[in-house]
Amino acid sequence: MKQVRAFVQSLLGSIRDLTPIIVVITFFQLVILRQPVPDLANILAGVALVTLGLSLFVQGLEMGLFPLGENMAYAFARKGSLTWLLIFAFLLGFGTTIAEPALIAVSAEAAEVAATGGVIGNTEEAKAEYANGLRFTVALSVGFAILIGVIRIIKGWPIHYLIIMGYIGVIIMTEFAPVWIVGIAYDSGGVTTSTITVPLVTALGVGLASSIKGRNPMIDGFGLIAFASLTPMIFVMLYGVITG
Amino acid sequence: MTLLTDFLYHFFFSVLATLKDVLPIIGIILGFQFLVIRKSIPNFGRVIMGFVYVILGLALFLQGLEQALFPLGKLMAEQLTNPAFIIPNWVAGEEYVVHWADYFWVYIFAAAIGFSTTIAEPSLLAVAMKASEVSGGTVTLWGLRIAVAIGVAIGIALGTFRIVTGTPLHYYIIAGYIIVVIQTFYAPRSIIPLAYDSGGVTTSTVTVPLVAALGLGLAETVPGRSALLDGFGLIAFASLFPIISVMAYAQIGLVIAKHRGKLSESDD
C-alpha cells in the first residue's frame, strides 16, 4: 500500500514535470504556427508513456542507483585501496561513455563534416574509422575526468582552480584546432554524461566526500560531472589537430 | 490489437537499447563488487528491483519521446525556421534577405523549449534530489531546477541568435567562461561545485534531440549559413549558461538573506 501511494505521488510529480513542454508545444502549434496537432491520439499515448517512464525512473533511482553508488563509495573508503578506487573511477567514466548513444550520433556527424571538408576520404570506411577514433578519444577523456575528480575529492582541492585551468585549456586549443571541429568539440562536452551515469557518479562523489574525514559532501562531493563535461572539449580539439 | 503488438515490438527494442547502454556499467560494478570489494551489497534484491525500474522507466520514457514529442518538436522547428513563416508573402524559390529580428519567434521558442525540456530532464532531477538532501534544504529541488532551466533558456535563445547572425561560437563561450570565473570569486563557496555540475547534466535525453533539430533547421534555412559549420554549438550554450544562472541563484539568495538579517536586526 505504501509503495502504491509512493508511486502515485511520483506519477503526479512526473505529470507536473512534463506540463511545461506540453504547454509550450500546444501554444506554438495553435497560436503561433496555427497548425492543427497531427495524430493527436498517438501523441497523447506518447505523453502517457513518458510520464510513466519518468516515474519508474525516479523510483528506481532511490531504490537502486543511489544506494549502490554510495555503498561502493563507502566500501572503497573502508578498504582504503586508492589504486582500486582510481581504476574504478576511470573505468566508470570510460565504460559509460563509449556506449553512449548521443556520443555515437555526434561522432558520426563529426565524421560527416570531416569528410565534406576533405580532411578524410569520403568513404564509409574512412568515416567509420574517424568516428570510432573520436568516440574512443571522448571516452578516454571522460575516464580521465572522473579519475581527476576523485583525486580532487580525496585531496580536498578547491574545484575552481581545476575548472579554470580546464577553461584555459579549451581557449588555447580553440586557437590551434581546425575551425570545423570547434562546434562539435564544444557540443561533445554536454552530450557525454548520460541519464544513468549522472546519478551513479553523483552518488559516488557525495558518498566519497561523506565517508572521508574533513570533507564536506556539498563542497567536495559535487563536481565530477563538471570535469566530465570539460575534458572532452579539449580532447576532441586535440583529436582534430592530430588527425587534421 | 495491432496497436498493442506494435507497441510491444517497439518497446522490446527500446528496452534492448537501454540495456545495451546500462550493461557496461553493470559489468564494471559487479566486477568490482565481487573481485575487489568482496562484500555483498546490502538490500541486494531491492537494488536489483531499482535497476529494473530504471531500465524499464528509461525505455518507456524514450519510447514516449520518440513517439510523441520528438517528431512534433522537429516539425515545429522546421516550420518556425521556414522562410514561408519568417517572411510574409514569400514566394517559394525566391531569394531572400533576413534581418536577425525576423526570427523573433524562433528565439522565444528556443527559450521556451529549453526551459521546459530542462524541467523534465531526468539527470537534472537526480542531481537536484541529491543536492537538496545533502544541502539540508538550502538548495531546494525546484529552486535548482528552475535556476538551471532559466540558464538553458537564455543559453539556447542566445545560441539561435548566434546561428542567425553567424558570429563565431568561441567568442560567446569565452565570454561565458570569463563571467563564470568572475562569479566564482563572489558566489557562496558551497554552491560552486554544484553549479559547475549543473552545466553537464542539463543536456541529455530530452533536450539534445529537440535542440539539435532546431539548430540544424536554422543553419539550413538562414541564407549564408552552413548546417555543417553553424549547426553545432547549441548544446555548448545549454551547458554553459546554467553554471552562470545557478551561481546567480545562490548569490541572489545570499543578498536576500542578508537583507532580511538587516531588517530583523533593525526590528530589535
pLDDT digits (tens, 9 = 90+) for B182-231: 999 999 988 999 999 988 887 666 777 778 778 877 887 787 887 667 77
- Which residues in chain B have their CB less than 8 angstroms from residue A58's CB? 57, 122, 125, 129
Percentage of residues in chain B having pLDDT higher than 70 = 91
Counting every residue, how long is chain A? 244
Which distant-in-sequence residues (6+ apart) come within 8 Å of A44 by Cβ? B68
- Judged by DSSP in three states, A118 sits in coil
Cell matching residue B76: 515545429
Torsion of CA A95, A98, A102, A108, to 10 degrees: 180
- Residue B212 near residue B74, CB atoms below 8 Å: no
Q: Is A190 within 8 Å of B236 when comparing Cβ atoms?
A: yes
Sorting pLDDT into bands at 50, 70 and 90, what band is B247? Answer: very high
| Portion 167-206 of B in contact with A at CB < 8 A | 169-170, 173-174, 177, 180-181, 184, 189-190, 192-194, 196-197, 199-206
Count helices and strands in chain B by DSSP H and E runs: 12, 0
pLDDT tens per residue, range A135-162: 899 999 999 999 999 999 999 999 999 9
Nearest CA in chain B to A142: B200
Interface predicted TM-score (ipTM) of this complex, two decimals = 0.86
Cell matching residue B79: 516550420
> Cα(A200)–Cα(A205) distance, rounded to whole angstroms?
9
Torsion of CA B220, B221, B223, B227, to 10 degrees: -10
Counting every residue, how long is chain B? 268
- Which residues in chain A have their CB less than 8 angstroms from residue B53's CB? 56-57, 59-60, 63-64
Q: At what angle do helices A197-211 and A82-98 cross, to 10 degrees?
A: 170
Signed CA dihedral, B116, B117, B123, B124: sign only: negative
* Whether B127 contacts chain A with CB within 8 A: yes
> Cα(B159)–Cα(B233) distance, rounded to whole angstroms?
7
Which of the residue ranges A20-34, A99-113, B17-31 would you say has the lowest mean pLDDT? Answer: A99-113
pLDDT of residue B253: 84
Nearest to B53 among A32, A59, A88 (CB): A59
Half-sphere exposure of B150 (CA within 13 A, CB side): 11
Q: Which residue has the higher pLDDT, B159 or A194?
A: B159
Please state, rounded to an integer, the average pLDDT across all residues of chain A. 86
> B242 pLDDT exceeds 90?
yes
> Cα(B45)–Cα(B99) distance, rounded to whole angstroms?
60
C-alpha distance from B215 to closest chain A C-alpha (Å): 12
pLDDT tens per residue, range A68-120: 888 888 888 887 788 889 999 999 889 888 877 777 777 787 787 778 777 77
> Cα(A207)–Cα(A187) distance, rounded to whole angstroms?
29
Comparing C-alpha atoms, which of B102, B71, B109, B110 is closest to residue B85? B102
- Which residues in chain A have their CB less than 8 angstroms from residue B236's CB? 183, 186-187, 189-190
> Cα(B44)–Cα(A233) distance, rounded to whole angstroms?
38
Work out the average pLDDT over B53-66: 87
Which distant-in-sequence residues (6+ apart) come within 8 Å of A171 by Cβ? B170, B174, B177
Cβ neighbours around B19 below 10 Å, total? 13
Signed CA dihedral, B55, A141, A153, B185: sign only: negative
Q: Phi and psi for B90 in degrees, rounded to 5?
A: -80, 135
Comparing C-alpha atoms, which of B264, B104, B4, B174 is closest to residue A169? B174
pLDDT tens per residue, range B10-23: 788 888 877 877 78
C-alpha distance from A165 to closest chain B C-alpha (Å): 11
pLDDT of residue B94: 66
Q: DSSP letter at A157? A: -
Q: Phi and psi for B15 in degrees, rounded to 5?
A: -65, -45
Comparing C-alpha atoms, which of A64, A57, A50, A67 is closest to residue A16? A50
pLDDT of residue B93: 66
Interface test with B, best of A23, A135, A195 (most B CBs within 10 A): A195
Cell matching residue B204: 541529455
pLDDT of residue A234: 94
Distance of CA B83 to the CA centre of its chain: 28
Which of the residue ranges B66-75, B124-133, B148-157 would you say has the lowest mean pLDDT? Answer: B66-75
Comparing C-alpha atoms, which of B80, B101, B82 is closest to residue B90? B82
Q: Is A49 within 8 Å of B64 when comparing Cβ atoms?
A: yes
Cell matching residue B59: 525505455
Nearest to A202 among B25, B58, B126 (CB): B126
Which distant-in-sequence residues (6+ apart) come within 8 Å of A136 by Cβ? A98
Phi/psi class of residue B136: alpha, beta or left (left: φ > 0; alpha: ψ in -120 to 50)?
left
Q: At what angle do helices A124-155 and A101-116 cross, to 10 degrees?
A: 130
